């Protein structure tokens, strides 16, 4: 959000956890993995205070987001989006390259057009709104940094359609430096392994300590696992997805 461009006035980020059905299909080959409901996962995010005041965990369906994670403009009343490869690789970007792959339904990626004088005014207004006293030298340094950042951004626009009038923009924010790889981030696969150990009765300090170093609201998460019951409907979806994948593999062979 902070690197998406000073020409924007970004208020909050929307966190959209995976839908229950999609999670079940994803875990088709791991029946021991606890399938926590979206309601539980949203509550963990909200209890954690992560990005408090700057983010909101959405309990609605991912159907409210279109292809490539772009927001459904009819639902949100906002056709624009910001995306990035900061936290993990993404399909449109190759690490270390400023070249982006084309996305179906969107125009070619282009540099963001901006006016440097207008950008400087926007920075000054933002500083005043935050109650910051910024002298000329500090403001000049801030403008120079903002200009450098703006030149690194790329932007695409939705193609026109009966639903989309062609005004939906998606801006891409590149990770700053991936020369030494990505910073260590919690692995969902590793977290699941510890959850399976807890579900099997292992409450050792080592397991709880490792989980606490990676997961949000560990006590609540552990209580979810202790009282976890398999959702039969999600289990059916999981088994169906596994059978479908097996048949597809047989066809390919």
pLDDT along the chain (253 residues), means of 10: 82 83 90 89 86 78 66 75 76 72 87 91 82 74 89 87 68 72 70 91 92 90 89 88 82 68
pLDDT at residue 59, as a whole number? 82
Strands 154-157 and 169-173, bridge-based pairing: antiparallel
Can you give the residue ranges of every domain in the chain? Answer: 13-112+153-252
User: HEC states along the chain?
Assistant: CCCCCCCCCCCCEEECCCCHHHHHHHCCCCCCCCCCCHHHHHHHHHHHCCCCCCEEECCCCHHHECHHHCECHHHHCCCCEEEECCCCCCCCECCCCCCECCCCCECCCEECCCCHHHHHHHHHHHHHHCCCCCCHHHHHHHHHHHHHHHHHCEEEEECCCCCCCCCCEEEEECCCCCCCCCCCCCCHHHHHHHHHHHHCCCCCHHHHHHHHCCCCCHHHHHHHHHCCCCCHHHHHHHHHHHHHHHHHHHHHC
pTM as predicted: 0.73
pLDDT at residue 111, as a whole number? 93
pLDDT at residue 183, as a whole number? 57
pLDDT at residue 181, as a whole number? 55
């Amino acid at each position: 959000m902070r690197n998406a461009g000073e020409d924007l006035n970004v208020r909050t980020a929307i966190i959209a956890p995976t839908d229950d059905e999609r999670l079940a299909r994803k875990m088709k080959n791991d029946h021991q993995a606890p399938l926590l409901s979206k309601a539980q996962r949203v509550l963990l995010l909200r209890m954690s205070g992560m990005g408090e005041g700057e983010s909101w965990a959405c309990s609605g369906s991912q159907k409210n987001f279109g292809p490539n994670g772009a927001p459904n403009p009819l639902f949100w009343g906002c056709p624009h989006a910001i995306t990035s490869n900061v936290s993990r690789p993404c399909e449109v970007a190759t690490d270390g390259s400023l070249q982006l792959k084309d996305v179906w339904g969107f125009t070619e990626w282009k540099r963001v057009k901006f006016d440097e004088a207008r950008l400087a005014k926007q920075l000054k207004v933002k500083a005043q709104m935050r109650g910051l006293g910024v002298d000329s030298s500090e403001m000049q340094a801030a403008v120079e940094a903002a200009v450098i950042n703006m030149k690194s951004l790329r932007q695409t626009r939705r193609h026109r359609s009966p639903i989309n009038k062609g005004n939906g923009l998606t801006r891409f924010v590149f990770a700053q430096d991936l020369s030494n790889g990505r910073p260590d981030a919690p692995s969902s696969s590793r977290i699941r392994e510890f959850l399976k150990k807890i579900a099997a009765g292992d409450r050792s300090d080592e397991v709880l300590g490792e989980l606490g170093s990676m997961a949000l609201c560990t006590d609540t998460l552990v209580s979810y696992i202790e009282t976890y019951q398999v959702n039969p409907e999600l289990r059916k979806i999981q088994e169906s997805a596994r059978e479908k994948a097996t048949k597809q593999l047989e066809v390919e062979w």
